[in-house]
């Protein structure tokens, strides 16, 4: 009788392990699907950024403005140090 109860417990334990495994696999699959969609959008955004001619112009403008500001700050800093 004790052996029968032990075997039933093992069966229940295996059933729980299988169910936990299935649940874990479903969660992992869902996470992988989310990551795949995220990566697809990242790839799409990269392609659209690289093919947008206005972006290059905007980046060049930002760089020019940054360099002008940097130059002005350096001049002002030198003036402050001279005083």
DSSP secondary structure of the chain = -HHHHHHHHHHHHHHHHHHHHHHHHHHHHHHHHHHHHHHHHHHHHHHHHHT-HHHHHHHHHHHHHHHHHHHHHHHHHHHHHH-
Q: Is 57 found in the same domain as 27?
A: no
Residue 1 lies in a domain: no
Whether residue 19 is contained in a domain is answered as: yes
Same domain for 42 and 67, yes or no, is: no
Range of the domain at 65: 53-82
Q: Which residue did the predictor score with more confidence, 83 or 6?
A: 83
Number of domains in the chain: 2
For residue 46, which of 15, 38, 65 has the smallest C-alpha distance? 38
Task: Please state whether the predicted TM-score (pTM) of the whole model is above 0.85.
Answer: no
What pLDDT is recorded for position 77?
Answer: 82
Task: Examine the domain organization and report whether 18 and 34 are in the same domain.
Answer: yes
The one-character DSSP state at 51 is T
Using pLDDT thresholds of 50, 70 and 90, give the confidence band for residue 4. Answer: low
Q: Residue 6 — pLDDT band, cuts 50, 70, 90?
A: low
């Amino acid at each position: 009788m004790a052996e029968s109860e032990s075997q039933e417990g093992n069966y229940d334990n295996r059933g729980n392990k299988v169910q936990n495994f299935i649940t874990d696999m479903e969660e992992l699959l869902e996470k992988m699907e989310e990551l795949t969609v995220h990566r697809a959008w990242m790839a799409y955004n990269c392609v659209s950024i690289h093919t947008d001619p206005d972006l290059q112009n905007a980046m060049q403008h930002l760089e020019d403005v940054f360099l002008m500001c940097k130059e002005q700050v350096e001049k002002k800093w030198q003036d402050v140090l001279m005083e």
